[in-house]
Amino acid sequence: MTARGSALSNRPDSVVSSVQNDVVSALRAVDDPEYPGVSIVDLGLVEDVRVDGERVEVDLIPTFSGCPALAFIAEDVARAIEAVTGVGGVIVAFVPEPVWTPDRISADGRRRIAAGFGVGVQLGPKPPACPHCGAPAALRETALFGPVRCRSIHHCDACGEAVEMIR
Amino acid sequence: MARSWSSIGEFETFLDEGGVVEKGDAMPDEYRDAVFRFIELHANSELMGGLTERDWIPKAPGLRRKMAVLAKTQDEIGHAHLLYMVAADLGVKTRDEMLTDLFAGNGRFHNVFHYQAVTWADQVAIAYLVDAAALISQQAVFKNCSYGPYKRILRRIVAEEGFHMRHGEEMLLVFAEGTEIQRSMFQEALDRWWWPTLHMFGPPSKDNDVLLRWHIKSERNEDLRHKFVQKYAPLCTGYGFTPPDPELHRDEETGKWVTGEIDWEPLKATFANLGPDSARRVGDAARHWSDTGWVRAALEAIAA
């Protein structure tokens, strides 16, 4: 995530950083609708935040272009930022690039998804460990698509758990 | 790792103390059967629900609603996949056996999938009422369920159902704030779906219900239904709609909403797969399964 404030050069730096910081903190408190307790920042959905005077523009990227949660996420983001002191207007946009990949999920986000939902994250070609028991290379894919299009379903042959992987 | 218990009494003490049973444990056969039947019913219901939802993809008004219906279909089929896996792991029936029973009309699935959704407003009533009822039931199971693998699947299902409810609420507002035609469409849908939604919680729990005794469920059917009525009776009437129950009222003294007497006959008919739309639904599901056989064969060929 980048944070630009070039249009704010005529303002004291403390004001610039304060609004920018408050906006970023507000975004950290916006959870993904399908993972309550995991923020959209940790999922890597926030691409850019621009503060220009009282106006804030946020660029988000979807995990999948057909994701049905997009409108709700945009609504939640706008509401959270409008509540920040010093903000007069918000524009939330979904941008087509860059394309979201699972490695955009932060380490903290991965921990929360595994602990809270038993969902693992597929990173690179290496076979992932079971998010339930931690066994390496024991997952057998049983369905290419899970309850959401960004997850596949696996059976762990070590612990027998039905798990899902974000990929 | 696997645990065993020398008697049912010892097993029940373990459960009463909040013990969680895992797949490899030597659980009593009666417990295994009860938990299996419960998960099989849930898996079948997700599959039947997903197939019903799918019928509305081409008919949903607008791209955003289509995306939502698509996502719900995906969600429910995904949940069915997970639940059939957890059910099959109990070793009572294989997934193929469960599906064969379902398509032959011998499987059980929730009563609400034994009725026809006539208009788009029915889909809205289902998303607003039925999904909310399902969430209330599932949250209660999730809280204290004694079978670990199922409990862990439920935490994801509950998170996703919460998201469906947001769609339901948003769609309801469109009808509530809409034209006279839209309002009467939703009223007619409410007339069709109010009682089946109340039935969905099941008949009043018996005191010897093993699902409660073994902490597979943690709340009685009538208590969950009561919870639903307390929230949704005032919401429906608040939006100016009238649930089809002339005796529904708020008790002055207790402040609680009270329904009229519930007729259980329609629910019993669905238990026997003899509901108004059961035969068509089962037939459609069976036909869908055979029509998509080539996809499974192709995937297996690629994997081999």
Tokens for B135, please give them: 């969430």
Residue A2 confidence (pLDDT): 42
Query: Averaged over B36-63, what is the pLDDT?
Result: 95
Angle, CA of A130, A134 and A140, to the nearest 5°: 25
Collapsing DSSP states into helix, strand and coil, what is residue B228?
A: helix
CA A107, CA A127: separation in Å to the nearest integer? 18
Task: State whether residue B132 sits within 8 Å of chain A by CB.
Answer: no
User: Does the bond joining B266 to the residue before it have cis omega, within 30 degrees of 0?
Assistant: no
Residues of chain A with pLDDT under 50: 1-14
In chain B, the percentage of residues whose pLDDT exceeds 70 is 100
* Of B232, B173, B175, B171, nearest in space to B201 by CA: B232
Residue B2 confidence (pLDDT): 82
Q: Is the pLDDT confidence value at B186 over 90? A: yes
Per-domain residue ranges for chain A? 7-101, 118-166
Cβ–Cβ below 8 Å for A151 and B67? no
Which chain B residues touch A164 with a CB distance below 8 Å? 82, 156
Cβ–Cβ below 8 Å for A155 and B85? yes
Angle, CA of B295, A119 and B86, to the nearest 5°: 60
Radius of gyration of chain A from its Cα atoms, rounded to whole angstroms: 18
pLDDT digits (tens, 9 = 90+) for B256-291: 999 999 999 999 999 999 999 999 999 999 999 999
Cβ atoms of A130 and A155 within 8 Å: the answer is no
Given A34, A72, A161, which is nearest B159 (Cβ)? A34
Q: What is the largest CA-CA distance in chain A?
A: 62
pLDDT digits (tens, 9 = 90+) for B89-103: 999 999 999 999 999
pLDDT digits (tens, 9 = 90+) for B124-177: 999 999 999 999 999 999 989 999 999 999 988 988 887 788 889 999 999 999
Average pLDDT, chain B: 95
Residue A4 confidence (pLDDT): 41
Residue A11 confidence (pLDDT): 44
Task: State whether residue B88 sits within 8 Å of chain A by CB.
Answer: no
The alpha-carbon gap from B134 to the nearest alpha carbon of chain A, in Å, equals 17
Cβ atoms of B214 and B135 within 8 Å: the answer is no
By CB neighbour count within 10 A (0-12 exposed, 13-18 middle, 19+ buried), where does B239 fall? middle
Given A36, A66, A151, which is nearest B67 (Cβ)? A66
Cβ atoms of B129 and B217 within 8 Å: the answer is no
Task: State whether residue A69 sits within 8 Å of chain B by CB.
Answer: yes
Question: Structure pTM?
Answer: 0.89
C-alpha dist (Å) from residue B73 to B118, B155, B257, B261:
18, 19, 34, 34
* CATH number of this structure's domain A7-101: 3.30.300.130
Residue A1 confidence (pLDDT): 42
